[in-house]
């Protein structure tokens, strides 16, 4: 299979969110992805100060300009933050002190740093006043995805009307305990006919039995898989970084915050995701749809 991953924070020991990322390091990560069958991906930059995010975006743009392998592998950029819900549980691994309300002007600054390579922006609809940033991005043919958020059903519907078209890693980026029925997972699933819904398919972020239920509710035709990989992906146990996080990955290869309260990305590769889906009883054609075809379709990449 020729995998396509819409959310890669790092790979093979390389952190795409490093403030010192070099072109050579980006090439190492991209070569490793290609060896694992991921021929296309979006490098993902997560929440930081505006200047910090702009610097990281520029380094990725530079690496792509300077290296053919990086250029062939990274189809663009996924900006995840800083316009996220800062509430505990929803903010997840993103630094709360850098979360901020969305504005078109701030978004334009990030897009300028990304030099036309932005394919997806993940934001919290309830932090986007009158959904102005969502409407602006949709007008620029950039996929607007909700994530790390807690909008009401009415807010989700209004955001969809403004151009929201995807939800980032449903079942994660939310508190461990939620209201029984009126919660972000149920709201999103109720609107699956209007949203692409992505899941971290590593078998850890969403247990396989729950993932099976989500796929039934959303419909495979509206669903896709990502890894949300960090630098530890493919690299084995050890010490790694994701932006400002210093992480120690144990033998179970699960990326947790130092206090163990939440996940900090994934160590998964796309072949591992495919194996999880296969063990769930999915057919090869369905796996290809979720891991290869649908991600390309979402961003209009041929």
Q: How far apart are the first and last CA of the chain?
A: 15
Report d(CA 119, CA 75) in Å as an integer. Answer: 8
Q: Is the per-residue pLDDT at 253 higher than 90? A: no
| Residue 247 vs residue 114, higher pLDDT | 114
Confidence of residue 64 (pLDDT cuts 50, 70, 90): very high
Residues 157-176 have a mean pLDDT of 96
**3-class secondary structure for the chain?**
CCEEEEEECEECCEECCCCCCCHHHHHHHHHHHHHCCEEEEEEEEECCCHHHHHHHHHHHHHHHHHCHHHHHHEEEEEEECCCCCCCCCCCCCCCHHHCCCECHHHHHHHHHHCCCCEEEEEECHHHEHHHHHHHHHHHCCCEEEECCCCCCHHHHHHHHHHCEEEECCCCCCCCCCCCCCCCHHHHHHHCHHHCEEEEECCCCCCCHHHHHHHHHHHCHHHEEEECCECCCCCCCCEEEEECCEEEEECCCCCCECCCCCCECCECCCHHHHHHHHHHCCCCHHHHHHHHHHHHHHHHCCC
DSSP bridge pairs for 289:
none
Residues 276-285 have a mean pLDDT of 98
The count of residues in the chain is: 302
Q: Which of 59-68, 168-177, 224-233 has the lowest mean pLDDT?
A: 168-177
Among residues 241, 264, 257, 268, the alpha carbon closest in space to that of 19 is found at 241
Highest mean pLDDT among 43-57, 163-177, 231-245: 43-57
Q: How far is CA 238 from the centre of its chain?
A: 23
Residue 177: its pLDDT value, please?
A: 87
Q: Is the per-residue pLDDT at 245 higher than 70? A: no
Q: What CATH topology corresponds to 3-299?
A: TIM Barrel (3.20.20)
pLDDT digits (tens, 9 = 90+) for 118-134: 999 999 999 999 999 99
* Percent of the chain whose pLDDT exceeds 70: 96
Q: Is the CB of residue 88 less than 8 Å from the CB of residue 175? A: yes
Residues 235-248 have a mean pLDDT of 74
Q: Is the CB of residue 152 less than 8 Å from the CB of residue 161? A: no
Q: Supply the mean pLDDT for the chain.
A: 95
pLDDT digits (tens, 9 = 90+) for 11-20: 999 999 999 9
Q: Is the CB of residue 122 less than 8 Å from the CB of residue 168? A: yes
Among residues 12, 76, 69, the alpha carbon closest in space to that of 267 is found at 12
Burial of 35 (0-12, 13-18, 19+ CB in 10 A): exposed
Residue 262: its pLDDT value, please?
A: 64
| Residue 243 vs residue 221, higher pLDDT | 221
* Percent of the chain whose pLDDT exceeds 90: 85
Residue 266: its pLDDT value, please?
A: 87
Confidence of residue 34 (pLDDT cuts 50, 70, 90): very high
Residues 37-42 have a mean pLDDT of 99
pLDDT digits (tens, 9 = 90+) for 178-210: 989 999 999 999 999 999 999 999 999 999 999
Q: Is the per-residue pLDDT at 259 higher than 70? A: no
Q: Is the per-residue pLDDT at 264 higher than 90? A: no
Confidence of residue 93 (pLDDT cuts 50, 70, 90): confident
Tell me the domain boundaries of the chain. 3-299
Considering the entire predicted model, what is its pTM? 0.95
Confidence of residue 258 (pLDDT cuts 50, 70, 90): low
Q: Is the per-residue pLDDT at 243 higher than 80? A: no
């Amino acid at each position: 299979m020729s995998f396509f991953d819409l959310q890669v924070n790092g790979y093979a020991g390389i952190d795409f969110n490093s403030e010192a990322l070099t072109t050579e390091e980006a090439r190492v990560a991209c070569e490793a992805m290609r060896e694992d069958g991921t021929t296309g991906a979006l490098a993902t930059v997560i929440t930081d100060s505006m200047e910090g995010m702009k610097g990281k975006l520029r380094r990725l743009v530079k690496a792509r300009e300077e290296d053919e392998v990086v250029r062939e592998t990274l189809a663009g950029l996924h900006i995840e933050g800083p316009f996220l819900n800062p509430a505990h549980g929803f903010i997840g691994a993103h630094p709360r002190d850098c979360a901020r309300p969305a504005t078109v002007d701030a978004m334009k600054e990030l897009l300028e740093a990304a030099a036309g390579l932005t394919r997806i922006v993940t934001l919290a609809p309830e932090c986007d006043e009158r959904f102005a940033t969502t409407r602006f991005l949709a007008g620029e043919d950039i996929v607007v995805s909700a994530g790390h958020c807690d909008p009401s059903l009415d807010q989700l519907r209004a955001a969809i009307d403004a151009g929201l078209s995807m939800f980032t890693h449903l079942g994660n980026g939310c508190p461990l305990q939620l209201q029984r029925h009126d919660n972000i997972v149920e709201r999103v699933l109720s609107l699956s006919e209007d949203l692409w819904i992505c899941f971290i398919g590593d078998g850890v972020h969403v247990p396989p039995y729950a993932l099976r239920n989500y796929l039934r509710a959303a419909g495979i035709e509206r669903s896709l898989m990502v890894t949300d990989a960090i630098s530890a992906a493919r690299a084995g146990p050890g010490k790694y970084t994701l932006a400002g996080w210093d992480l120690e990955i144990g033998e179970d290869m699960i990326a947790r915050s130092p206090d163990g309260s939440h996940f900090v990305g994934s160590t998964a590769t796309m072949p591992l995701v495919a194996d999880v889906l296969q063990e769930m009883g999915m057919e090869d054609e369905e796996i290809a749809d979720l891991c290869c075809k649908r991600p390309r379709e979402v961003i209009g990449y041929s």
